[in-house]
Amino acid sequence: AQTVTQSQPEMSVQEAETVTLSCTYDTSENNYYLFWYKQPPSRQMILVIRQEAYKQQNATENRFSVNFQKAAKSFSLKISDSQLGDTAMYFCAFMKTSGTYKYIFGTGTRLKVLA
Amino acid sequence: KAGVTQTPRYLIKTRGQQVTLSCSPISGHRSVSWYQQTPGQGLQFLFEYFSETQRNKGNFPGRFSGRQFSNSRSEMNVSTLELGDSALYLCASSNTGTSGGSYNEQFFGPGTRLTVL
C-alpha cells in the first residue's frame, strides 16, 4: 500500500524569503503522479503543482517548484519569494497512473508567511 | 464553468442521527471522490464514484456510504453518527479515468462542516 508522509506539521517563513516543504512517499509502483495542493484558510483546496514520475525534469509553476528524487521517494515543494497569500495548509498527494486512480494524501503542513 | 458545489455548508447533528451530504461536480466530470478532513489526520479517503459505480473505497466503517446519480451528482450518507465523525467533508471531482480527461487534477468543493454533539 502507498503512504505519503509530511513530517513538518507547521512552518513559518518571512515574506519574500524561500521555504521548502518536505514530502516522502512509499510505493512499489514505477509510474505515478505526485501533487501539491494548497488549502488557504476557509477557502477551497487548489492544485499548486504536479509531477509525473517518468519525467526527470522537476516541475515548476512560477514561484513554486519541486525537487523530485525518485530513488529516494522524496518530493519537496519550494516556494520562492513567499507572499502573504501563500499562507495555507499544503498537502502532498500520490496517485498511481493505472488501476484504481485513488489519491493518497499526506497529513499536511501548515505554512504561515510572516510580514 | 461552475466549480464543485457542496450542500449544506454547515451541519450540526446529535449522536445517533444520520446525515446526508450532497456534491455537484464540475460539468463533464464523471469521477467524484469524498474525503474526511480532521486536524492532524489530513485527508482520509472515503470513496470514489465513477459513472454511478463505486470504483474505490477507503477504510471507513459501513456507517459511511455513498451513491452517484446519472448526472454525476453524488451524495454521502453517515448513519448512527458518533462524536468522532465531526469533521470537514470534502468532495472532489475530476476527469480521471476518462479518455481525453484533463489529467488527473482533482477539483475540490468548499466542504461541509459537520459537528456532532
pLDDT value for B115: 97
pLDDT at residue number B73: 97
What mean pLDDT value characterizes chain B?
90
Give the model's pLDDT for residue A100: 66
- How many CB contacts within 8 angstroms connect chain A with chain B? 53
Asked if the model's pLDDT at residue B22 lies above 70, the reply is yes
Contacts with A37 from chain B: Cβ below 8 Å: 106, 108
Q: Tell me the chain B residues in contact with residue A45 when contact means C-beta distances shorter than 8 Å.
A: 90, 92, 108
Q: List chain A residues with pLDDT less than 70.
A: 98-101
Distance CA A39, CA A24 (A): 19
Nearest Cα residue to A97 out of A69, A67, A55: A55
B108/A44 Cβ within 8 A: yes
Answer for the pair B21, B112: CB distance below 8 angstroms, yes or no.
Answer: yes
**Chain A residues touching B45 at Cβ < 8 A:** 102-105
pLDDT in tens, B9-21: 999 999 999 999 9
Distance from CA of A72 to the nearest CA of B (A): 23
Check residue B103 and give its pLDDT.
55
The whole-number pLDDT of residue A29 equals: 86
Which string of DSSP letters, residue by residue, matches B56-68?
EE-S--TTEEEEE
Q: Three cell numbers at A20?
A: 521548502
Question: For residue range B56-109, what is the model confidence (pLDDT) as tens digits?
Answer: 888 899 999 999 999 999 999 999 999 999 999 999 998 865 544 445 788 999
Instruction: Give residue B102's pLDDT.
Output: 45
Q: Is the dihedral of CA B50, B77, A1, A107 positive or negative?
A: positive
B24 Cβ under 8 Å from any chain A Cβ: no
What's the CA angle centered on A90, arms A84 and A93, to 5 degrees? Answer: 155
Cβ-based contacts of B42 with chain A (< 8 Å): 6, 91, 105-108
What torsion do the CA atoms of B67, B69, B74, B80 make, to the nearest 10 degrees?
Answer: -30
pLDDT at residue B67, as a whole number? 97
Q: Which three cell numbers stand for residue A36?
A: 501539491
Per-residue confidence (pLDDT) for residue A101, from 0 to 100: 66
Residues 6+ apart with CB under 8 A from A36: A21, A23, A47, A48, A49, A50, A64, A66, A75, A77, A90, A91, A92, A93
Question: Could you tell me which chain B residue has the CA closest to the CA of A3?
Answer: B44
Taking CB atoms and an 8 Å limit, are B90 and A45 in contact across chains? yes
Please report residues of B whose CB lies closer than 8 A to that of A103: 33, 45, 106
Rounded Cα gap, residues B47 and A27, in angstroms: 20
Which of B29, B36, B104 is the mutation pick for testing A, counting most A CBs within 10 A?
B104
- In sequence order, the β-bridge partners of residue A14 are A114
Predicted local confidence at residue A43, as pLDDT: 87
CB contact under 8 A, B106 and A101: no
